[in-house]
Structure 1
Amino acid sequence: MNFPELRQFFVTLLIGTAGALIAMAIGFPAPYLIGPALAVTFAGLAGLRLGVPLLVRNACFVIIGISMGSTVTPEIFVAARTWPLSFVMVFVAIVILLFSAAWVLQRLFRYDRTTALLAASPGHLGYVLSLAAEMRCDLRAVSISQSVRVLALTISVPLIVEFFDLADTDVIVLPDAMSMPILVVMLIVSAGFGLLFQRWKFPAALLLGGVFVSISTHITGSVSGTVPNWLLIPIYVLLGSLIGSRFSGLSFADLRLAIVSGLVVTVVVMALAGGIAVIVSYFANVPLDAALIAFSPGGLETMAAMAVMLHADPTYVGAHHVLRLMFLSVLMPLVIGRDARLK
C-alpha cells in the first residue's frame, strides 16, 4: 500500500470506529457491523474517498471463517438430521427471490432482462459483477443495486431479530478464547487453505479456508477455543466499513434511481425470504433467528459474522449460504443465456 491508500484506509477506519461507538451508545443490535456500515456509507456519499485494502479485507474473511468453525461440536451433527428439508428450501428460495426481484426491476424500473437478472441475483456479489462485466447490461445499476441490498440487509436483519424478539433462548455457549500460539498457527494454516480454495475457484474461498481448518481441528478435539474478542470486534468494524465503502466517490444524484430500485428489491426479497424462513423454522424445527439469517440474501461473510454476533447457529447459517453461492454459480449463466454476452 502506498501513502494515499494508507491515509484512505486510516480515515475509513476512523469513521467506522466512530460509527460503531455511536451505534453502541444508541443500543443498536450488532453495533460493530451496523454502525461502521452506516457511517462509512454516508461519508462516502458526502464525497470522501474511502476504502479497505484487499489484504486487510482478505484477513478479515479468514478470521471470520475461523470464528464460525470454532462453534462446531459433535452435537451439532446430531442436530443436522433436521437440515435436509432446509437445504432443499435453499434452491426453492433462490429461484423465487431471483425471478420475483427481476420481475419488479423490469416492470417498475424498466431494466432490460439481463440487467434485471444480474441486479436481482440474491448474493454472490463478486461473481455477479464479473458476469456483468462480460454482458450487455448496465454495470453501474447492477453494482449499486447489489451494494444497496448488502447494506440494507446488514442493517435490517439484526434490527428485525431484536425488534421481534426472534433470538433463540437456547443460545450457543462459545468456548474460551484460544491461546495466542494456537491462534497464530490457525491463521497461517487457514490462509493457506483459503489461497488453495481461491485457486480452485471456490466461492468465498478465504472464508471457507478458515471454516475448513477451524471445523477440522475443533471437531477432532485437537484445538479448542474461539477467536478472542479483542481481535473479533475490530474485524466486525472493518467488515462494516468495507460494506459502506462501496458507495465511496458516488453521489445521491447519480444514484437516485439505482438506490430506489435497490431498496424496493431488497424489501421484496426480504419479505419473501422472511416467509420462507418462517416455514423452514416451523417444519424443520430450526430457531427462527438462525433461519432468517440463513435465508437472507446477504453476503456470506457478513451473514456469517452476524450469526456469531447474534448467537445464532453459525454452522447452520454458513452451510446454507455456501450452498446458495454454489447454486448461484451454476444458475446465473443458465438463466441469462448466451444472447446477453458481448460480441
Structure 2
Amino acid sequence: MSFSELRASALTALIGTAGALIAIAVAFPAPYLIGPAVAITVAGLAGLRLTVPAEVRNVCFVIIGVSMGASVTPEVIVAARTWPASFVMVPVAVVILLYVSSWMLQRFFRYDRVTALLASSPGHLSYVLSLAAETHCDLRTVSVAQSVRVLALTITTPLIVEIFGLVGAEPALPPHVMSVPVLIATLAVSALLGMLFLRWRLPAALLLGGVAVSISTHITGFVSGGVPNWLLIPTYVILGSVIGTRFCGVSIGELRVAFVAGGIVTVVVTVLAAAIAGGVSYLTGVPLDAALIAFAPGGLETMAAMAVMLHADPTYVGAHHVLRLMFLSVLMPLVLGKEARQR
C-alpha cells in the first residue's frame, strides 16, 4: 500500500469513528453502521479521497458471517419450519420491486430500458455493476442509483424498526463469547471456505464462508459463544464506512438527476418492501423486525450486521438475502435480454 493510500485509509477510519461517536451521542439506532455511512458520504461528496482497503473489507465480511452463524440453535431450526412460505415471497418481492422501479425511471426520468432495469435491481450491487459495464447503458446513473439505495436503506431500516418499537428485547447472539484461540481458528477456517466459494462464484462468498463454518460448529456443539463486541463494533464501523466510500470522487452537481432518481425509487421500493414484509409477518408469525430487514433490498452484509445489532433473527435475515441474490443472478440476464449487448 502506497503512502497516499495509507493516508486515505487512516482518514477514513478517523472520520468513520467520529461518525459512529456522533450517532451514539444523538441516540441513533444502529449507530456503528449509520454514523460512519453518513459521515463518510458527506466527506466524500465534499471532495476528500477516502477508501477502505479490500483486504480489511473482506475480513469484515468473514466476521459478520461468523457472528450470524453463532446465533443458530436447535430452537432456530425448529422455527425454520415456517420459513418456506416466507421464501416463496422473495422472488415475488424481487420482481415487483424491479419492475415498479424500472417503470418509474423510464416514465418520469426518461432513462432507457437497460439503464432503468440495472438501476432498479433490488440488490447484488457488484454483480449489477459488472453487467452494466458490459452493456449499452448509463453506467454513472446505475452506480449512483444503486449506491443511493444501499445508503438510504442502511439509514432508514433501523430507524423504522426503532420508531415502531420493533427492536428485539434480547440479543440473538449467545450470552457468552468465544475464546480468542477458538475465534481465531473459526475465522481462519471461514476465510478459507470463503475463498473456495469465491472460486465457485457464489454471491457474498466470504460472508457465506463464515456463516457455513459458524453454523456447522455451533449446531453440533463443537463451538459455543458469539463474536466479542471488541471485534464486532470495529467491524460495523468499517462496514458503514465502506458504504459511504461509494460516493467519493464525485460531485453533487454532476450527480443531481441520478441522485434524485435513486432517492425517489428507493422511497418507493422501501414502502413496497415494508408492505410485503408486513404481510409475510402476519401470515407466517415471523417477528416483524426480522421480516422488515429480510425483505429490505439492501446489501447482504449490511442487513446481516443490522439484524445482529437490532436483535432480530440473523439466520432468517441472511437466508432470505442469499436467496434474493441467487434469484437476481438468474433473473437479471433474462430481463435484460437481447438489448444488453456487449460494448
Q: Which residue of 2 aligns with 1:92?
A: 92
> Shift of the alpha carbon at 1:173?
5.2
> Shift of the alpha carbon at 1:170?
6.1
Separation of aligned partners in 1, 2:339 and 2:157: 37
Question: Pairwise mapping of residues 137-286 of structure 1 onto structure 2 (< 5 A)?
Answer: 137-169=137-169, 172=172, 174-286=174-286
Q: Which residue of 1 aligns with 2:116?
A: 116
Q: Which amino acid aligns with 1:165?
A: G
Q: Residues 44 and 248 of structure 2 are in contact (CA less than 8 Å); yes or no, is this contact kept in structure 1?
A: yes
> Shift of the alpha carbon at 1:164?
1.1
Q: Which residue of 2 aligns with 1:63?
A: 63
Separation of aligned partners in 1, 2:196 and 2:62: 13
Q: Which residue of 2 aligns with 1:341?
A: 341
Is 1:311 paired with 2:311?
yes
Is 1:293 paired with 2:289?
no
Q: Which moved more, 1:173-182 or 1:37-46?
A: 173-182
Q: Which amino acid aligns with 2:83?
A: W
> Shift of the alpha carbon at 1:171?
5.2
Aligned to 2:247, the other structure's residue is in SS state: coil
Q: Which amino acid aligns with 2:254?
A: D
Change in CA separation of 1:187 and 1:171 when aligned onto 2, cut-off 3 Å:
closer
Is 1:44 paired with 2:44?
yes
Count of matched residue positions in the alignment of Structure 1 and Structure 2: 343
Change in CA separation of 1:213 and 1:274 when aligned onto 2, cut-off 3 Å:
same
Aligned to 1:71, the other structure's residue is in SS state: coil
> Shift of the alpha carbon at 1:74?
1.1
After TM superposition, the score normalised by the length of structure 2 is 0.99
> Shift of the alpha carbon at 1:152?
0.2
Separation of aligned partners in 2, 1:11 and 1:128: 29
Question: Pairwise mapping of residues 18-33 of structure 1 onto structure 2 (< 5 A)?
Answer: 18-33=18-33
Q: Residues 37 and 244 of structure 1 are in contact (CA less than 8 Å); yes or no, is this contact kept in structure 2?
A: yes
After TM superposition, the score normalised by the length of structure 1 is 0.99
Deviation readout 1:318-342 (Å, 9 max, x if unpaired): 0000000000000000000122212
> Shift of the alpha carbon at 1:167?
2.5
Q: Residues 290 and 307 of structure 1 are in contact (CA less than 8 Å); yes or no, is this contact kept in structure 2?
A: yes
The percentage of counterpart residues that share the same residue type is: 72
> Shift of the alpha carbon at 1:169?
4.5
Deviation readout 1:145-175 (Å, 9 max, x if unpaired): 0000000000000001001112344653533
Q: Residues 175 and 224 of structure 1 are in contact (CA less than 8 Å); yes or no, is this contact kept in structure 2?
A: no
Separation of aligned partners in 2, 1:130 and 1:47: 26
> Shift of the alpha carbon at 1:4?
1.1
> Shift of the alpha carbon at 1:177?
1.0
Separation of aligned partners in 2, 1:175 and 1:65: 18
Q: Residues 57 and 242 of structure 1 are in contact (CA less than 8 Å); yes or no, is this contact kept in structure 2?
A: yes
Change in CA separation of 1:259 and 1:132 when aligned onto 2, cut-off 3 Å:
same
> Shift of the alpha carbon at 1:180?
0.4
Q: Which amino acid aligns with 1:102?
A: S
Separation of aligned partners in 2, 1:223 and 1:172: 16
Aligned to 1:52, the other structure's residue is in SS state: coil
Q: Which moved more, 1:166-175 or 1:219-228?
A: 166-175
Q: Residues 121 and 128 of structure 2 are in contact (CA less than 8 Å); yes or no, is this contact kept in structure 1?
A: yes
> Shift of the alpha carbon at 1:244?
0.3
Q: Which amino acid aligns with 1:21?
A: L
Aligned to 1:246, the other structure's residue is in SS state: helix
Separation of aligned partners in 1, 2:302 and 2:257: 25
Q: Which amino acid aligns with 2:245?
A: S
Q: Which residue of 2 aligns with 1:2?
A: 2
Q: Which amino acid aligns with 2:313?
A: D
Q: Residues 168 and 287 of structure 1 are in contact (CA less than 8 Å); yes or no, is this contact kept in structure 2?
A: no
Separation of aligned partners in 2, 1:207 and 1:172: 18
Separation of aligned partners in 1, 2:172 and 2:241: 27
> Shift of the alpha carbon at 1:185?
0.4
Separation of aligned partners in 2, 1:257 and 1:185: 48
Separation of aligned partners in 2, 1:106 and 1:11: 39
Q: Which runs of 5+ in 2 are unaligned?
A: none
Aligned to 2:286, the other structure's residue is in SS state: coil
> Shift of the alpha carbon at 1:76?
0.6
Q: Which amino acid aligns with 2:335?
A: V
Separation of aligned partners in 1, 2:71 and 2:168: 16
